[in-house]
Amino acid sequence: MVNVGKPAGGRSGRPRAGEERLSRQTILDAALRIVDDEGLEAMTMRRLAATLGVNPMSIYHHLPNKAAVFAGLAELVFADLNNTSRAEATTSRKAGREVPVRRSAGRSPGASTPTRSGGDRWQDELMNAAHAYRNALRAHPNLALQVLADAAAVSEVVVLTVEPFYRALDRAGLTPRQIFEAVNTLIDFIHGFSLGEASVRADTFELAPDLLERVSKLQPGQAPTLTRIVEELGADGLHYEFDDGFETGLSLFVAGIGARFGR
Partner DNA sequence: ACCTGAACACCGTTCAAGT
Site string for a copy of itself, 95-134 (x = CB under 8 A): ----------------------------------------
- CB under 8 A, 24+ apart: contacts of 193-196: 193/134, 193/245, 193/246, 193/249, 194/134, 194/137, 194/138, 194/144, 194/148, 195/144, 195/145, 195/148
With CB under 5 to 8 Å by kind, the binding choice for 54 among DNA, a copy of itself, none is DNA
For residue 117, the tally of other CB atoms under 10 A from its CB is 6
With CB under 5 to 8 Å by kind, the binding choice for 188 among a copy of itself, DNA, none is a copy of itself
- Least Å from the CB of residue 51 to DNA: 11
- 8 vs 169, beta carbon nearer a copy of itself: 169
Distance between CA atoms of residues 226 and 247, nearest Å: 23
Interface with DNA in residues 23-82 (CB under 7 A): 44-47, 54-58, 60-62, 65-67
The letter for the amino acid at 187 is: I
- Secondary structure (3-state) at 15: coil
Q: Is 204 in the site for a copy of itself (CB under 8 A)?
A: yes
With CB under 5 to 8 Å by kind, the binding choice for 1 among DNA, a copy of itself, none is none
For residue 134, the tally of other CB atoms under 10 A from its CB is 21
- 57 vs 111, beta carbon nearer DNA: 57
With CB under 5 to 8 Å by kind, the binding choice for 196 among a copy of itself, DNA, none is a copy of itself
Name the one range near a copy of itself by CB under 8 A: 47-55, 73-81, 110-118, 150-158: 150-158
Handedness of CA 178, 181, 184, 188 (dihedral sign): negative
Interface with a copy of itself in residues 153-172 (CB under 8 A): 153, 155-156, 158-160, 162-163, 166-167, 170
The letter for the amino acid at 140 is: H
- 29 vs 247, beta carbon nearer a copy of itself: 247
Element (H, E) at 228: helix 224-238
Residue 123 burial by CB count (10 A; 0-12/13-18/19+): exposed, middle or buried? buried
Positions that interact with DNA (CB under 7 A): 21-22, 44-47, 54-58, 60-62, 65-67
